[in-house]
Structure 1
């Protein structure tokens, strides 16, 4: 093989110059080598662009999801604070009208915002399958499935869930500081009043005398 290559490149033509075939082979070889180099360069550059694009998209999606989560939590917290403040104002006004109570201050802690109850349809299905055992006996297997779906009603150009009622949030605790509650009978009236108004058990209501 080595001798044949030497013969190919060193064999002159009739005029004494190197063969044109050798020149063509060299040119073709250089072009092929150049194409291979260019192909490698482009193939190395493209994945980096794709990776950076994917990373940017993932980062944007993560930031958007985080912002939405914080936004929802912030809105819910604000709603709870507003309801608690409304309860506190109403209770303070009510307690200050009780005989023997004055300068009442109230703090209310709620479980959540108002609970909305929506109408739902119950979809139930039952399937009975008969199986045979190796002894020739048979048995029936019942499979019961239940599924609930929220009822939607048309409102303008969109569908919205059918609201049945709105329930007040559960009360975690109520703390009252007022003058006059150092008397047992007055304290009892305050505790019972708050318990009935907020539908909260009496052990969640704390009343302390005010200096």
Structure 2
């Protein structure tokens, strides 16, 4: 670029020294040099913009990766929480069932739904609308429309509004398997089923009790 500027400067100096208008050839040379200069300047701007585009793309990719990582982390935390709760139930049941007469060497497996259930406070909004209608025979009638709508109650927490959490329910028990010595006796098996049903608040048809070898 510096060489092109030097050539342009020489052309103008030559014009001044001769104290006359440049020739047609001189004009062509100047125009050509100006065109080359514009191409070089345009190329420099393009090279400067290209890294900006790459940086923008990298930022977008990084944001997407962070979002996916956040969701994956939440899913893993929920899964870990459910697994820990299942293990706690199993341990408690083993200790409890082994205290039942005729029951020993107990093994328990508890299967829960994957997530906790959160209950939020809601407002019930009842709307009523009354309208009068006239039929073709001139008769009039009053029509009343009533509708109900529930809206989650929001409370301010710092700089944002969040739903008002009323209760967090533990995951529902989907099934329980108990394997123990002594369970081959019908009476003992019934005791085990009733004990598990009362402790976990689960229907008896979701509980299976098997004798252990």
Give the TM bin, normalised by the shorter chain. Answer: 0.7 to 0.9
Tell me the residue number matched to 2:95. Answer: 93
The count of residues paired between Structure 1 and Structure 2 equals: 193
Partner Cα distance (2:210, 2:130) in 1: 64
Partner Cα distance (1:166, 1:77) in 2: 16
Is 1:192 the counterpart of 2:159? The answer is: no
Tell me the residue number matched to 2:149. Answer: 146
Superposition CA RMSD, Å: 3.6
1:41-60 superposed matches below 5 A: 41-42=43-44, 44-45=46-47, 48-60=50-62
Shift of 1:189: 1.4
Tell me the residue number matched to 1:36. Answer: 38
| TM-score of the pair, normalised by structure 1 | 0.73
Aligned pair partner of 2:24 in 22, 25, 31: 22
Residue by residue, what CA displacement relative to the aligned partner does 1:88-127 show, whole Å, maximum 9, x if unpaired?
Answer: 1111111011111112111111103443322222344456
Residue by residue, what CA displacement relative to the aligned partner does 1:166-195 show, whole Å, maximum 9, x if unpaired?
Answer: 323211111111110011111111112212
Tell me the residue number matched to 2:112. Answer: 110
Shift of 1:32: 2.5
Tell me, what secondary structure is at the counterpart of 2:23?
helix
Stretch of structure 1 that moved more, 78-87 or 52-61: 52-61
Where structure 2 has 5 or more consecutive residues not aligned to the other structure, the ranges are 1-19
Contact kept in structure 1, 2:118 and 2:165, CA below 8 Å: yes
Where structure 1 has 5 or more consecutive residues not aligned to the other structure, the ranges are 1-17
Tell me the residue number matched to 1:165. Answer: 167
